[in-house]
Structure 1
Amino acid sequence: MEFVNRLQKSIEQHANLNVLCINGTFYTYKDFAQEISNIRAAVTNKIDDSEKLIGLVTNDDLQTYASILALWLEGKAYVPVNPEVPFERNSKVFEQTETKYVIDSSENSIYIDYQVIASNQLSEAKINLVPRKIKGDDLAYILFTSGTTGLPKGVPITFDNVQALVGAIDAEPTFNLVPEDRCLQMFELTFDFSVVAYLFPLLAGSCMYTIPKGTIKYFYIFKLIKEEKLTVLTMVPSIINYLRPYFGEINAPDVRYCSFGGGALHSDIAKEWSDCLPNCKIFNYYGPTEFTVYSGFYPYHKETATKAHNGIIAIGIPQKDTSYLVVNNNNEEVPIGETGELCLGGPQITPGYWKNEERNAKSFFVREENGKSIRYYKTGDLCLKDEDGDFLYVGRADFQVKIRGYRVELAEIEFHAKSKSEKKVNMVALDITNDLGNAELGLAIESEEFDTEIIFDHMKSMMPSYMIPMHVRFVKEFPHSINGKIDRKELKKHFDLT
């Protein structure tokens, strides 16, 4: 497998360079190689070849990152679980994957019902970074996302999927990491964006800077940008909302690349953030877990490339070997300029949800194109393709709600609410169920209370009455998922209409 061979060469070639900075402590690629080899020796001694899915407790330490590489060199997949998540949920993940072995660098592992490899207590082994022969359809990892039934759903990703991602990013001439780069790694390892945040720096011999658990994430990022002069930032858009009060203090000429994903990037804050990074190329990436992180991007520039819909920056065009298709409810392609559900096809597509045929039947379909059968994943995102061939994000299909029989895009309400607000704060439109069981609109504002008369006067001049929120709640701090996305389900609890 080409990318695994490249990882081996990179680790060997950059032995004297730093690979990770964790809570102020630097580790070299040589240190990394030693930890990988220690863990790999334990894996080969204790785990049978037939066991392919290995649990991994995602601590913020050298051993956890080394475990991923050790498993890949052995042709095995990691099944990550966050130690801050309830044990019962993590146990369900291991139950579904029939995981018997868990690699855990915790001081005392709580996974006593599993065969634990304590990765922080291993004896030193001979350096061995030579990969075994790996089949492309072998799994590289399985990530679990929240399921509507309360049972997390697994997304398996193969080595071929990861190879296709690497090939697509390599094909982009505007993005090229070098060993001197200092890269932000802000993501929990159970979140798919972590894969690009660690994989591409490792392939280039760059150094990653992680965010210690228990810190205020946005403040620590601010500190790293300022003190460590980071050059590559991979972020979720919500982070810069929290950094916004500090924009006046941020002048980061060292930043070369800033990639966004995992949420909508709004045009107003994108421009302000761009002013903080005078020498930076900004990419608005798009892609779900089911399509191996990235599927395409829009190269944003505050003066020459600001295409947006309802104030949300475009998601651009598909990357190499990826097909975008916008369809109606019958999976038929819609005309240019018409909104539909975005579907993705290509070599990065997951084999399907883990042991969930019912969900697979709803989420994937096959379409004949030019004599070939192409399998597509239905993203649940509403998009449209414009005359230039760029794709514009409209909103989530599940954020398209019915109010009094009318279809309403919550993103459109948010756009008009923000456009006349003197305060630059987060605003989220929500559908709320009243005591009669009918849907009404609410607007949550992340701020202390202020007069919203100007905002509502503007909304009334731009939208029909059924799109005007009937309820407003000021929330000091929006709830977020562990991956940095606004938790709308939790936010709805601030609206009690019963």
Structure 2
Amino acid sequence: MKFVKELQRSIEKHSDHNVLCINNVFYTYNDFAVEISKIRAAIVSTVEDEEKLIGLVTNDDLQTYAGILALWLEGKAYVPVNPSTPIERNIQVFESTETKYVLDSSNISIYTDHTVIATKTLVDTKINLEVKDFSGDQLAYILFTSGTTGKPKGVPITFNNVDALVNAIDAEPEFDLVPSDRCLQMFELTFDFSVVTYLFPLLAGACIYTIPKNTIKYFYIFKLIKEQKLTVLTMVPSIINYLRPYFPEINAPDVRYCSFGGGALHSDIAKEWSDCLPNCKIFNYYGPTEFTVYSGFYPYHKETHQKANNGIIAIGVPQKDTLYLVVDDKNQEVPIGVTGELCLAGPQITPGYWKNEERNAISFFNREENGVKVRYYKTGDLCIKDEDGDFLYAGRADFQVKIRGYRVELAEIEFHAKVKSPKKVNMVALDIPNNLGNAELGLAIEGESFDTEEIFNYMRTKMPDYMIPGHTRFVKEFPHSINGKINRKELKTYFDIN
């Protein structure tokens, strides 16, 4: 919880600096402190002390960000839900966490079965940023990712986990934010990368620039870089694929740092992007939600650090206090140069999936090292450790894919697609590369064609829009591999989306 006290100090110290730019409106750290205090007072007067998991509707406004800080100062966790995601799925999240209270800045809240604190209508109160005394083992947030059974998978993260992340980033001499920085925050607050894009600017007293919900994201980023002269960019690689046609127009000497994560960064486009940012240090970060956002990085440079595997930039080395281990299917370490599954250990590791012992048994294991029991998380990512100690990304070991930076279980899409199918047929969800190099979702259906409207209408009530396949193909008979499994690679050739 050390980082929460650092946040308090930063907000107080930088009261006259801008903290957020939301839809071209600037707010100061003092404005932020006022909103935090109002929401905190409402939490104290409304929520019982033992209630630790509080819902947060993730609107793009000052009150939503202030709500996170208000909860943290009280030693409580936020459980974020996206207002554009089907309400049934969001209710499922709240039921899983037994959340009774919801912070909601919407004009009218749809969470009528919960006690809602309407954060836009609160009365002024005295500024109170004092940190309550609480244990670092308590939860700071729970994020829900795609799950194979049709139910989202909860990943709880503690205050100690976040502290360890802050310590690790602080230990990196190459990365140092300052109060004059102008930082991009392009992520939905239900996505783990959002944590680093609001947390580190706040700790530095810098300004955060968000992306309005109903805009073309990549074009708005282009505009911010050009007009607001952003200095710090944190992005998923797919964004620069969309920006590629504009590269000749982008010359951004103000950008000091550009961090990538949440997907594979390809070496060809990394070099082109680097040419647009003449004074920038580029970092290719790696890390799953289960390990508190970042676990390590590779310092890409178009001339001196270009290490790649199959055209994908290396993910580098683990950061402070983090251990990397590449294992075979028996969880035994493989030799240098051999492909295996990357496993992570260290103080950033989640306590385990929320109320999901079956998944925990699959995803975590203990290993004795130097007489000490070390707990590892199996990432599902295939990697190779090279002779220099760098780690190279080699693909996925399962059927998870990255869509717009979000980790998606293809099995969940297939699960929901089959529920309303008028015919009992094979359905396979696939990630299909488009001509920009980004992945789009396709649904292959075996047999003669039929009307799929009911299937897609149903899926839209169960999953966020980024999980709805944009392409459908009927295939008379699915191709199979020599061992009888559906040949997903060949199935992809039926989709021509360029």
Residue 351 of structure 1 aligns with which residue?
351
Superposed displacement of residue 48, structure 1: 0.6
The correspondence of residues 113-262 of structure 1 with structure 2, limited to 5 A, is: 113-262=113-262
Residue 72 of structure 2 aligns with which residue?
72
Deviations 1:431-482 (A, max 9, x none): 9x9x9979999965337xxxxxxxxxxxxxxxxxxxxxxxxxxxxxxxxx9x
Residue 291 of structure 2 aligns with which residue?
291
Residue 323 of structure 2 aligns with which residue?
323
Residue 424 of structure 1 aligns with which residue?
none
The one-letter code matched in structure 1 to 2:294 is Y
Superposed displacement of residue 125, structure 1: 0.8
Residue 100 of structure 1 aligns with which residue?
100
Label 1:385 to 1:486 Cα distance change in 2 as closer, same or farther (>3 A).
farther
Label 1:387 to 1:122 Cα distance change in 2 as closer, same or farther (>3 A).
same
Residue 434 of structure 2 aligns with which residue?
445
The correspondence of residues 356-371 of structure 1 with structure 2, limited to 5 A, is: 356-371=356-371
Residue 475 of structure 1 aligns with which residue?
none
Label 1:308 to 1:108 Cα distance change in 2 as closer, same or farther (>3 A).
same
Superposed displacement of residue 486, structure 1: 12
The one-letter code matched in structure 2 to 1:385 is K
Superposed displacement of residue 398, structure 1: 1.9
Give the distance between the partners of 2:289 and 2:300, measured in 1 at CA. Answer: 23
The one-letter code matched in structure 2 to 1:41 is A
Residue 9 of structure 1 aligns with which residue?
9
Which secondary structure does the structure 1 equivalent of 2:365 belong to? strand
Label 1:367 to 1:30 Cα distance change in 2 as closer, same or farther (>3 A).
same
Choose the corresponding residue for 1:493, options 469, 472, 487: 472
Label 1:68 to 1:241 Cα distance change in 2 as closer, same or farther (>3 A).
same
Q: What percent identity do the matched residue pairs reach? A: 75
Give the distance between the partners of 1:361 and 1:442, measured in 2 at CA. Answer: 28
Aligned partners of 2:183 and 2:209 also within 8 Å? yes
Label 1:322 to 1:444 Cα distance change in 2 as closer, same or farther (>3 A).
closer
Give the distance between the partners of 2:103 and 2:83, measured in 1 at CA. Answer: 12
Aligned partners of 2:353 and 2:360 also within 8 Å? yes
Residue 91 of structure 2 aligns with which residue?
91
Higher relative contact order (CA 8 A, sep 6+): 2
Which secondary structure does the structure 2 equivalent of 1:67 belong to? helix
Length-normalised TM-score, structure 1: 0.83
Aligned partners of 2:317 and 2:391 also within 8 Å? yes
Label 1:440 to 1:290 Cα distance change in 2 as closer, same or farther (>3 A).
closer
Which secondary structure does the structure 2 equivalent of 1:225 belong to? helix
Give aligned pairs, total: 433
The one-letter code matched in structure 1 to 2:312 is I
Residue 277 of structure 1 aligns with which residue?
277
Superposed displacement of residue 105, structure 1: 0.2
The one-letter code matched in structure 2 to 1:490 is P
Superposed displacement of residue 19, structure 1: 0.1
Give the distance between the partners of 1:314 and 1:489, measured in 2 at CA. Answer: 30
Deviations 1:179-213 (A, max 9, x none): 00000000000000000000000000000000001
- Give the root-mean-square deviation of aligned CA atoms: 2.4
Residue 307 of structure 1 aligns with which residue?
307
Deviations 1:279-301 (A, max 9, x none): 00000000000000000000000
Length-normalised TM-score, structure 2: 0.83
Give the distance between the partners of 1:360 and 1:226, measured in 2 at CA. Answer: 45
Which secondary structure does the structure 2 equivalent of 1:215 belong to? coil
Which secondary structure does the structure 1 equivalent of 2:59 belong to? coil
The one-letter code matched in structure 1 to 2:469 is E
Label 1:30 to 1:441 Cα distance change in 2 as closer, same or farther (>3 A).
closer
Which secondary structure does the structure 2 equivalent of 1:95 belong to? helix
Give the distance between the partners of 2:368 and 2:468, measured in 1 at CA. Answer: 38
Superposed displacement of residue 232, structure 1: 0.1
Label 1:440 to 1:284 Cα distance change in 2 as closer, same or farther (>3 A).
closer
Residue 420 of structure 1 aligns with which residue?
none
Give the distance between the partners of 1:68 and 1:136, measured in 2 at CA. Answer: 16
Give the distance between the partners of 1:278 and 1:497, measured in 2 at CA. Answer: 52
Label 1:235 to 1:441 Cα distance change in 2 as closer, same or farther (>3 A).
closer
Give the distance between the partners of 1:6 and 1:264, measured in 2 at CA. Answer: 33
Aligned partners of 2:156 and 2:354 also within 8 Å? yes
Which secondary structure does the structure 2 equivalent of 1:127 belong to? coil
The one-letter code matched in structure 1 to 2:342 is L
Give the distance between the partners of 2:372 and 2:306, measured in 1 at CA. Answer: 36
Give the distance between the partners of 1:442 and 1:28, measured in 2 at CA. Answer: 42
Give the distance between the partners of 1:123 and 1:380, measured in 2 at CA. Answer: 48
Superposed displacement of residue 2, structure 1: 1.0
The one-letter code matched in structure 1 to 2:396 is R
Deviations 1:163-192 (A, max 9, x none): 000000000000000000000000000000
Give the distance between the partners of 1:28 and 1:187, measured in 2 at CA. Answer: 21
Label 1:377 to 1:86 Cα distance change in 2 as closer, same or farther (>3 A).
same
Deviations 1:303-362 (A, max 9, x none): 000000000000000000000000000000000000000000000000000000000000
Superposed displacement of residue 377, structure 1: 0.2
Give the distance between the partners of 1:188 and 1:117, measured in 2 at CA. Answer: 21
Which secondary structure does the structure 2 equivalent of 1:129 belong to? coil
Which secondary structure does the structure 2 equivalent of 1:120 belong to? coil
Give the distance between the partners of 1:497 and 1:120, measured in 2 at CA. Answer: 55
Give the distance between the partners of 1:49 and 1:443, measured in 2 at CA. Answer: 48
The one-letter code matched in structure 1 to 2:165 is L
Label 1:13 to 1:497 Cα distance change in 2 as closer, same or farther (>3 A).
farther
The one-letter code matched in structure 2 to 1:445 is N
Label 1:80 to 1:442 Cα distance change in 2 as closer, same or farther (>3 A).
closer
Which secondary structure does the structure 2 equivalent of 1:490 belong to? coil
Superposed displacement of residue 134, structure 1: 2.0
Label 1:201 to 1:495 Cα distance change in 2 as closer, same or farther (>3 A).
farther
Which secondary structure does the structure 1 equivalent of 2:165 belong to? helix
Label 1:129 to 1:341 Cα distance change in 2 as closer, same or farther (>3 A).
same
Which secondary structure does the structure 2 equivalent of 1:302 belong to? coil
Give the distance between the partners of 1:438 and 1:215, measured in 2 at CA. Answer: 33
Give the distance between the partners of 1:95 and 1:59, measured in 2 at CA. Answer: 21
Label 1:130 to 1:85 Cα distance change in 2 as closer, same or farther (>3 A).
same
Q: Does 1:267 align with 2:256?
A: no
Label 1:339 to 1:14 Cα distance change in 2 as closer, same or farther (>3 A).
same
Aligned partners of 2:36 and 2:70 also within 8 Å? yes
